Amino acid sequence: MRVAVLASGSGTILDAMLDAGIPVEVVVVDRPCGATEVAERHSVPWEFVERSSYGADFDRDAYTRQILDVLDKYDTDLVVMAGFGTILAPAMFEVFDGRILNTHPALLPAFKGWHAVRDALEAGVKVTGCTVHVATAEVDAGPILAQEAVPVEPGDTEATLHERIKAVERRLYVQTVKEILERGSVQ
């Protein structure tokens, strides 16, 4: 399976995947970010598909077509989202139906959305965690592939809890992707 990684952030998940030997064909970023430096360090090509608008004028369909064009150019079979910040149009999930993975810093279906760690702390839960799931057009709603709990410790802040979740996330996500590649399919 030919793997493409979509990233928007520091690249720590990408780095963990590449360190573990996951064969990434291309990294696609939507903004300048650390993931491009990680890709370069591992000699993986990367493409910048700039998201130039964050307002009401953002054309999600046109942007998604640009992403799909890049993925097609690299004959992508499996898309791995690694902190990718742009929600894509339904066409993405039609073309790669059941073949887009994502990770989320909570035990889905609890605490969906961008502020899952903050929401878990505000709710006063004693346990949260991370989830690896199939991404669908409905955000954080796809089939769950793997989960692992992370205890909330007294005095945790959003930053401290998120760092512990990220440590688990990097290991669990890599393990899940490796299993998918070994069997040759997501399910």
Tell me if 180 sits within 8 A of 1, measured CB to CB: yes
Cα separation values, 32 from 49, 83, 87, 115, Å? 10, 13, 17, 22
Catalytic option among 104, 115, 133, 162: 104
Length of the chain as a residue count: 187
CB count in 10 Å sphere of residue 165: 22
Helix (H) or strand (E) holding 67: helix 60-73
Identify whether 133 is a catalytic site residue: no
The residues annotated with a catalytic role in the active site are 104
